[in-house]
Amino acid sequence: MSDTPASSSSLPGESQNSLRLSRPLVRGTIDAEGEARLREMWETRPGWRGWFSTVDHKEIGLRYLVTSFVFLLIGGLEALVMRIQLAGPNETLLTPEAYNQLFTMHGLTMIFLYALPVLSGFSNYLWPLVFGARDMALPRLNAFSYWVYVFAGIFLYASFPLGLGADAGWFNYVPLSGLAYDVGPNIDVYALGMVLLGISTTVGAVNFIVTLLRMRAAGMSLDRIPVLVWGTLTISGANLFAVPSVSLAFFMLWLDRRIGTHFFDVTAGGHALLWQHMFWIFAHPWVYVVVLPAMGIVSDALPVFCRRPLVGYGPVAISTVATMVIGFVVWIHHMFATGLPPLALSFFGSASMIITIPSAVATFAWVATIWTGRPVFRVPFFFFAGFVLLFVIGGVSGVMTAAVPLDWQLTDTYFIVAHLHYVLIGINVFPVVGAIYFWFPKFTGRMMSERLGRIVFWLMFIGFNLGFFPMHIAGLLGMPRRIYTYAPNMGWNTVNLLTTIGSFVFAVGVLLFLVDVFYSRKHGPIAGDNPWDGHSLEWATSSPPPPYNFAVLPIVASRHPLWEGRIEGESEDGPRSRITEGYLLDRGREALGTTALEAEPYVILKMPEDSYTPFFLALFGALFFTGLAFRAWVFTGLMLAACAISLIVWLWPERALIQREPEPASGG
């Protein structure tokens, strides 16, 4: 083992739980005894205690994936019931009230409870691995974000089985969502549930940003991070600006309904359009929030199957950031029919067209990567290639509505529904399913079925296009959205029947995918550490990874650390499967902190132990919002006090973080 001291320069803002490089970093290898000690220090306790207290990013990431897929299935079942109702004219399966609740809950489920959380699951699991780190920067905040998400989902669905679910659409326009038109708890639960969910999204965004700035492997400068990271980093920064807007809007609506304010009450000097501005300044950037990380997944995984690096890494990274920035100036794209001044319409129409440019950059980069590579036709490749086609269709149908006169004709028709689903399913679900096939060996150590996977792809691809492309035609034929039935002489019978058939074909594909997941988890072929011959650091450790991720923390010298010799033309049979030499940190739960730009080591971080406090703080927070919904003020006050106590326990200094400093293990 060789000792190589890292820089010991100090930076401002030292935390009480971190230790500056007062000792030199040691480079070398670690023996089996040292790895056993690391496992003992980092492993989550077995049983229910560990289940509720773990802060392991891998456990949390997998929980995000599983929970979001549960919500996807719930939203999908709601969609199938609606499609049965619309399969033919004058159907009576649902009443108008039930249909309103169903399409509202379907929308908020798919957009808020599935689309972003599933991407957060991938990022939570993969970020420390691709960074060569031990965990996220703020592990307890990470666990807290997940528990708040779970309780927010339960809160939003609590009244739905009683027939009291949200019923004013996921966009929740006033005055229809005001007390004069909806006196029950339906809208109150939606409003407060969205505020609660916004807390989860915001703290998660903070954790991602801090992790990016401080937890990368030594040498992983900003121009070497994966595109997946650029996507999640961009949307995390956006969420810090967008989520407060919609959270404030929902809270103001609740105040209007239950406290007697008049923010949106036109008869008392309020402004109905204020709701649309506050909602869409969040909801249009949210479209990119739920697609940019998925685009990053494709940008990182597609080159693995093309056997070459991504064409145009720099332009793709810049286009990712540019898409999000421009996305903040196109929210009025959704309000062209509200009577705004012509100058505003022309400005925001132009911005809506300009946003296609960065998307086109990414599209050409993917096509060029396939064209100049040597594609290997495996199941993940099919999903990623199919995504590119659906991305183009969804993008073209979206930019059509940037033309104001055309938007006036298409707004609130099924053409918009078709575009929305090409974005949220074609550009989110397809990359997600491809990513699960791709990273399933890393999650479980086993491969999924290649034969069944191809059947799944074709069922989903054919079913999706059969189900949602005819919606464009229905919209052009004048079918309005949000109607629960229609007359037989409207000319919409055939397109609606095709949409219903396609939806069920797509559902069969999803069902077979779940069968593949459950079967392969226990019986799939053993994968090995790097079955796809991947180029990034997550493939440099075992599959599944140990609790500590890396026994020695890797040092990075290129953008593709496992393809270095191959890309540089050196004679090498294949990439390294594991990192065997790097920085040793084995004196307790320790992680390496690096500088923001060049990723130079500068601090040794003492990471927190597992804790129950994130769970209890999230639970008491959810109960606090429950008290607000039912205006049980004493109960609300008690839950607020419980939140304060939980937060104090969370932040109370741990003696182990300050005093424990065992002798290092001997290097191999």
* 552 DSSP β-pair partners: 584
Q: Closest by alpha carbon to 587, among 36, 119, 162, 41?
A: 41
- The CATH number for 327's domain is 1.20.210.10
Same domain, residue pair 384 and 498: yes
483 and 625: one domain? no
Residue 25 inside a domain? The answer is no
Residue 450: count other Cβ atoms within 10 Å of its Cβ.
11
In a domain, 572, yes or no: no
Establish if 543 belongs to a structural domain. Answer: no
326 lies in some domain: yes
Domain C-terminal end among 462, 491, 523: 523
Is residue 503 domain-shared with residue 628, that is, in the same domain? no
Domain residue limits at 506? 55-523
Last residue of a domain, one of 523, 546, 565: 523
Cα dihedral 291→296→298→304 (10° resolution): -170
pLDDT digits (tens, 9 = 90+) for 515-574: 999 999 999 999 988 999 999 999 999 999 999 999 889 998 888 888 876 644 443 444
3 pLDDT tier (thresholds 50, 70, 90): very low
Residues 485 and 630 in one domain: no
Amino acid at 482: R
Whether residue 517 is found in the same domain as residue 621: no
Please tell me the predicted confidence (pLDDT) of residue 2.
36
Distance CA 66, CA 76 (A): 15
Residue 638 makes CB contacts below 8 A (sequence gap 6+) with none
Report how far residue 472's alpha carbon sits from residue 528's, in angstroms, rounded to the nearest whole number.
Answer: 45
Torsion of the alpha carbons at 356, 358, 362 and 364, rounded to the nearest 10: 70
Amino acid at 172: N
Displacement of CA 29 from its chain's centroid (Å): 36
Which pLDDT value is given to residue 402?
86
Task: Indicate the residue among 523, 547, 566 that finishes a domain.
Answer: 523
Contact call for residues 474 and 431 (beta carbons, < 8 A):
no
Same domain, yes or no: 486 and 621: no
Contact 421, 349 (CB under 8 A): no
Answer whether residue 480 is part of any domain. Answer: yes
Q: What is the DSSP letter of 58?
A: H
State yes or no: pLDDT of 78 exceeds 70.
yes
* Long-range contacts (CB closer than 8 Å, 24 or more residues apart) made by 641-645: 642/616, 643/617
Contact 524, 93 (CB under 8 A): no
CA dist 121 and 58 (Å) reads 9
Distance CA 242, CA 256 (A): 22
Q: At what angle do helices 139-157 and 186-214 cross, to 10 degrees?
A: 160
Judgement on whether residues 380 and 504 belong to the same structural domain of the protein: yes
**344-383 pLDDT, tens per residue?**
888 888 888 898 899 999 999 999 999 999 999 999 999 9
Six-digit token string for 562: 């496992």
Question: Is 214 inside a domain boundary?
Answer: yes
What is the distance between the alpha carbons of residues 275 and 246, in angstroms, rounded to a whole number? 9
| Residue 574 maps to a domain | no
Q: What is the mean pLDDT of residues 286-295?
A: 93
- Average the pLDDT over 231-247 and give the result: 94
Q: How far apart are CA 210 and CA 530, in angstroms?
A: 29
What percentage of the chain carries pLDDT values higher than 90?
69
Domain count, the chain: 2
Residue 585: the pLDDT is 85
d(CA 489, CA 500): 19
Is there a cis peptide before residue 525, judged by omega within 30 degrees of 0?
no
Give the pair of three-digit tokens for residue 481: 């959205």
Same domain, 616 and 506: no
To the nearest whole number, what is the mean pLDDT of the chain? Answer: 89
b/e per residue 379-388 (b: at least 16 CB within 10 A): bbbbbbbbbb
Torsion angles phi and psi, residue 553, rounded to 5: -80, 125
User: 471 and 420 in contact (C-beta within 8 Å)?
Assistant: no
Q: What is the pTM of this model?
A: 0.92
Bridge partner list, 605:
18, 591
Residue 571 falls inside a structural domain: no
Token duo for residue 526: 């053993």
Q: Does residue 516 sit in the same domain as residue 641?
A: no
Using CA of residue 145, residue 151, residue 157, residue 159, what is the dihedral sign? negative
Asked if residue 454 and residue 307 are part of one domain, the reply reads yes
The residues, ordered by sequence, that sit 6+ positions from 368 with a Cβ below 8 Å of its Cβ are: 311, 312
The torsion angles phi and psi of 547, rounded to 5 degrees, stand at -55, -30
**pLDDT mean over 458-470:** 96
**Dihedral of CA 324/326/329/333: which sign?**
negative
Q: Are residues 227 and 332 in the same domain?
A: yes
Interval 29-73: pLDDT, tens: 788 888 888 898 999 988 899 999 999 999 999 999 999 999 999
